[in-house]
């Protein structure tokens, strides 16, 4: 495993350097960087699987001349799981990039883009295997900076620069709270070693433990994109190149989930009051429902997917929050189930969200637009992309037999087990969270019925769509990898659950794989099969057999089938793209139902003919959703800081003598305190 780790770092290191060794050959630069990333990802998959089945964690330490810093790494089951998840998404994105980077030839430095991608993947690896707080913070900052430079790849565009700046500000606000978390733990442990965090010299008092909990939730929650700290996602994710969007949404935000689990269940020993878990549950519920509701209103396909990242982070936190509450009351088996469900959805979301962003990138590659209103009829022109996008849409909608169904079902079952609580309040709250999760699932299904239908079906609505062609083979391979995993993770929980149990067992103190798997692994049961159970392989078999039965009956009783091609009947009217459902029209009923939350602004302008005011010459329709969080939360805060900055501007008068006076006064004050 040491050799694998060194080989992984070496491959990414070569990916950082080699693209610059072939100047003025952007295609070669992109392929070289992508091949290095692919090799490192394959090594990472092997390393992650090895760490999951290893009997003991693997550790390594390299001393540093800097005080308190040690380049310490630890590959335990939790870290190995995230190494595996990052590597799977990295493999798909790297294959995809071999063809996709052609889009940037002559516009940006492909060598820099390929090198930054390798640096980004390596920094995420270092985040999850770091075993020293100081080293973790360095890796965390490298990950943030690498992703920032990737977001602003097309920095000549004003909206991209704004998205990058917004992301940079938000991620460093979160980093400040992460630093606070580790400083408090350092004060208690006397060292930045994670092992010292687990076994501190003196136990943290309750007040400081609560501060660690809140600081970690805000700091890591900012990176994860929880509501109301999610505002950077719909700016940064669409601005980045699509294979980077897949990595940011698929795995970068999951490093925050890793860190939350590490702090709560590992450093704090899994001991916390009930309201900690309830707050995580509440944040998850709000993120899930608001994320999908705002996604429904989007016409920009990549912004739509970015909001769905907020939704799925919420679903993950629902499982983790419920597990924390069960842990508080000593119901360890149910706590392990909640944590297992959250981790299962973590890898599932990484796969289907990476697939969907790669699919969206293929549409942008072929049509040169992210606006779904300019798509239509693309299934005939891009059948492979349409198939892969459909698999991703079915998965994120939690429909069997895909992976999203399995993990969301486990989250539901965890929430339904709330009758085990002695507290009436929690007995009521968890089923309410389950009901909101059910509403989230319905809205997600509507959203991706819109996304797939508006994009791929009916007639092309623009010249971009009419002239679209299927993407290169490497891009299709990149989409095929997560597509196969979406189906595989849904059909094979008997393989996934025991691996996840190796993570949850040391964190919660109990192993549950033998109780979650029933019928020799062919069915899932939430600890008790008498409560409920489901068999994903049997569901898949029933769906396939049902489809085959329908085709057989149609063939037997429908007579000989004859193909006849004719245009669609339209009541005597020639059909045109203007008659199709638009993305706006599709969600009009939902917009009206939730108008209180959306606060929509609608503007209709009509220009009439000069001859008669009864006949319109043209109409202009504008519709947008009020950015509630930015308007009522962030803009007032920015306004306050700007006013303070204006008041403090007088201190920076441009006078060298004044600056020397500041230094002199500061030295005098410090000397007085020293005396």
How far apart are alpha carbons 53 and 70 in whole angstroms?
27
Same domain? For 507 and 645 the reply is no
Residue 556 binned pLDDT confidence (cut-offs 50, 70, 90): confident
Residue 675 binned pLDDT confidence (cut-offs 50, 70, 90): low
Same domain? For 506 and 641 the reply is no
How far apart are alpha carbons 437 and 527 in whole angstroms?
21
Same domain? For 334 and 483 the reply is yes
Q: What is the DSSP string of 646-674?
A: HHHGGG--S-HHHHHHHHHHHHHHHHHHH
How far apart are alpha carbons 355 and 351 in whole angstroms?
6
Q: Assess whether pLDDT exceeds 90 at residue 529.
A: no
| Sequence-ordered alpha helix ranges (H) in 513-655 | 513-516, 536-557, 583-586, 588-593, 595-598, 628-629, 635-648
Average pLDDT score over residue span 224-239: 93
Is position 304 within any domain? yes
Q: Assess whether pLDDT exceeds 90 at residue 314.
A: yes
On the CB side of 605, how many CA atoms lie within 13 Å of its CA? 4
Q: Assess whether pLDDT exceeds 90 at residue 313.
A: yes
Q: What is the per-residue pLDDT for 182?
A: 96
The number of beta carbons lying within 10 Å of the beta carbon of residue 120 is 27
30 within 8 A of 129, measured Cβ to Cβ: no
How far apart are alpha carbons 360 and 96 in whole angstroms?
12
Average pLDDT score over residue span 378-387: 95
Q: What is the per-residue pLDDT for 203?
A: 85
Is position 10 within any domain? no
| Contacts with 370 (C-beta within 8 Å, 6 or more apart), sequence order | 238, 300, 301, 302, 303, 360, 363, 364
Q: What is the per-residue pLDDT for 500?
A: 96
Same domain? For 523 and 385 the reply is yes
The number of beta carbons lying within 10 Å of the beta carbon of residue 191 is 18
SS3 call for 558: coil
Average pLDDT score over residue span 623-644: 86
Q: What is the per-residue pLDDT for 559?
A: 65
Average pLDDT score over residue span 345-353: 97
Q: What is the per-residue pLDDT for 600?
A: 79
Is position 636 within any domain? yes
- Taking all residues of the chain, what is their mean pLDDT, rounded to a whole number? 91
Angle at 260 between CA 256 and CA 266, to 5 degrees: 135
Same domain? For 284 and 403 the reply is yes
Question: Which helix (DSSP H) or strand (DSSP E) does residue 189 occupy?
Answer: helix 158-189
Is position 648 within any domain? yes
Q: Is the peptide bond before 401 cis (omega within 30 degrees of 0)?
A: yes
Helix-strand-coil percent breakdown of the chain, rounded to 5?
Answer: 70, 5, 20
Is position 95 within any domain? no
Same domain? For 520 and 665 the reply is no
Look at 348 and 106; give whichever has higher pLDDT.
348
Given 504, 539, 574, which residue is the final one in a domain? Answer: 539
Distance of CA 530 to the CA centre of its chain: 34
Counted domains in the chain: 2
Look at 99 and 595; give whichever has higher pLDDT.
99
Residue 560 binned pLDDT confidence (cut-offs 50, 70, 90): low
For the chain, the maximum distance between any two Cα atoms, rounded to a whole number of angstroms, is: 103
How does pLDDT run across 583-616, given as a tens digit for each residue?
888 888 888 888 888 887 777 777 877 777 777 7
Q: What is the per-residue pLDDT for 163?
A: 94
**Which residue's entry shows tokens 């190995």?**
80
Distance of CA 584 to the CA centre of its chain: 25
First to last CA, the chain: 55
Residue 650 binned pLDDT confidence (cut-offs 50, 70, 90): confident
Given 507, 522, 539, which residue is the final one in a domain? Answer: 539
Q: Assess whether pLDDT exceeds 90 at residue 487.
A: yes
Same domain? For 535 and 654 the reply is no
Q: Assess whether pLDDT exceeds 90 at residue 405.
A: yes
Is position 644 within any domain? yes
On the CB side of 227, how many CA atoms lie within 13 Å of its CA? 26
Q: What is the pTM of this model?
A: 0.93
How does pLDDT run across 319-340, given as a tens digit for each residue?
999 999 999 999 999 999 999 9
134 within 8 A of 69, measured Cβ to Cβ: yes
Q: Assess whether pLDDT exceeds 80 at residue 621.
A: no
How does pLDDT run across 110-146, given as a tens digit for each residue?
999 999 999 999 999 999 999 999 999 999 999 999 9
Q: Which domain holds residue 533?
A: 270-539
| Sequence-ordered alpha helix ranges (H) in 65-132 | 77-100, 110-129
Beta-strand relationship, 616-625 and 517-518: unpaired
Q: Assess whether pLDDT exceeds 70 at residue 105.
A: yes
How far apart are alpha carbons 77 and 515 in whole angstroms?
20
Least confident of 81-85, 184-188, 598-602: 598-602
Q: What share of the chain in percent tops pLDDT 90?
A: 71
Report the b/e string of 20-47 with b at 16+ CB within 10 A. eeeeeebebbbbbbbbbbbbbbbbbbbb
Is position 643 within any domain? yes
Is position 290 within any domain? yes
**Which residue's entry shows tokens 């459902």?**
581
How far apart are alpha carbons 204 and 370 in whole angstroms?
50
Given 516, 539, 562, which residue is the final one in a domain? Answer: 539
Q: What is the per-residue pLDDT for 592?
A: 85
The pair of structure tokens assigned to 470 is: 């299927």
377 within 8 A of 386, measured Cβ to Cβ: no
């Amino acid at each position: 495993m040491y050799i694998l780790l060194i080989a992984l770092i070496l491959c990414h290191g070569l990916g950082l350097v080699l693209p610059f060794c072939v100047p003025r050959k952007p295609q070669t630069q992109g392929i070289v960087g992508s091949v290095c990333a692919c090799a490192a990802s394959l090594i990472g998959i092997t390393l992650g699987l090895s760490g999951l089945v290893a009997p003991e964690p693997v550790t390594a330490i390299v001393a540093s001349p800097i005080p308190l810093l040690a380049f310490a790494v630890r590959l335990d089951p939790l870290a190995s799981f995230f190494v595996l998840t990052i590597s799977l998404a990295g493999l798909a994105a790297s294959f995809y990039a071999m063809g996709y980077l052609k889009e940037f030839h002559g516009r940006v430095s492909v060598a820099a883009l390929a090198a930054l991608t390798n640096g980004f993947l390596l920094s995420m690896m270092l985040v999850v295997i770091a075993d020293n707080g100081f080293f973790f913070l360095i890796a965390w900052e490298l990950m943030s900076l690498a992703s920032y430079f990737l977001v602003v790849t097309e920095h000549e565009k004003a909206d991209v620069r704004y998205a990058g700046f917004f992301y940079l500000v938000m991620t460093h606000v979160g980093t400040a709270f992460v630093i606070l978390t580790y400083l408090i733990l350092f004060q208690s442990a006397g060292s930045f070693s994670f092992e010292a965090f687990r076994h501190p010299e003196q136990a943290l008092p309750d007040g400081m433990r609560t501060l660690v909990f809140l600081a970690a939730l805000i700091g890591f929650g900012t990176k994860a994109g929880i509501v109301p700290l999610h505002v950077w996602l719909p700016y940064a994710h669409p601005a980045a190149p699509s294979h980077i969007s897949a990595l940011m949404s698929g795995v970068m935000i999951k490093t925050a989930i890793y860190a939350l689990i590490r702090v709560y269940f590992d450093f704090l020993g899994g001991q916390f009051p009930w309201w900690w878990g309830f707050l995580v549950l509440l944040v998850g519920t709000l993120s899930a429902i608001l994320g999908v509701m705002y996604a429904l209103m989007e016409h920009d396909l990549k912004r739509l997917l970015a909001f769905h990242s907020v939704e799925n982070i919420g679903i993950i936190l629902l499982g983790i929050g419920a597990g924390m509450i069960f842990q508080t009351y000593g119901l360890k088996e149910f706590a392990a189930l909640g944590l297992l469900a959250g981790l299962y959805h973590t890898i599932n979301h990484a796969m289907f969200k990476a697939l969907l962003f790669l699919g969206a990138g293929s549409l942008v590659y072929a049509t040169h637009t992210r606006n779904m209103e300019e798509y239509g009829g693309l299934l005939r022109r891009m059948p492979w992309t349409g198939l892969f996008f459909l698999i991703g849409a079915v998965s994120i909608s939690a429909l069997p037999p895909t992976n999203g169904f399995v993990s969301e079902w486990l989250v539901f079952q965890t929430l339904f087990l709330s009758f085990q609580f002695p507290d009436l309040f929690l007995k009521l709250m968890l089923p309410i969270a389950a009901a909101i999760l059910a509403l989230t699932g319905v809205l997600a299904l509507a959203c991706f019925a819109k996304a797939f239908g508006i994009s791929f079906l009916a007639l092309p609505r623009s010249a971009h769509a009419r002239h679209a062609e299927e993407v290169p083979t490497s891009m299709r391979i990149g989409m095929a990898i997560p597509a196969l995993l979406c189906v595989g993770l849904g059909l094979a929980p008997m393989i996934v659950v025991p691996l996840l149990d190796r993570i949850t067992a040391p964190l919660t103190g109990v192993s549950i794989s033998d109780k979650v798997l029933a019928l020799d692994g062919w069915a899932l049961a939430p600890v008790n099969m008498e409560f409920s159970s489901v068999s994903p392989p049997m569901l898949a078999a029933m769906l396939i057999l049902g489809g085959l039965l329908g085709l057989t009956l149609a063939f037997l009783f429908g007579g000989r089938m004859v193909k006849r091609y004719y245009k669609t009947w339209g009541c005597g009217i020639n059909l045109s793209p203007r008659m199709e459902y638009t993305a706006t029209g599709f969600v009009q009923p939902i917009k009206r139902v939730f108008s209180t939350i959306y606060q929509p602004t609608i503007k209709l302008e009509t220009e009439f003919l000069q001859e008669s005011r009864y006949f319109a010459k043209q109409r202009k329709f504008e519709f947008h959703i009020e950015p509630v969080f930015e308007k009522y939360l962030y803009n007032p805060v920015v306004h306050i800081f700007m006013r303070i900055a204006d008041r403090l501007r007088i201190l920076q008068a441009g006078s060298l003598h004044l600056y020397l006076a500041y230094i002199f006064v500061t030295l005098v004050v410090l000397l007085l305190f020293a005396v």
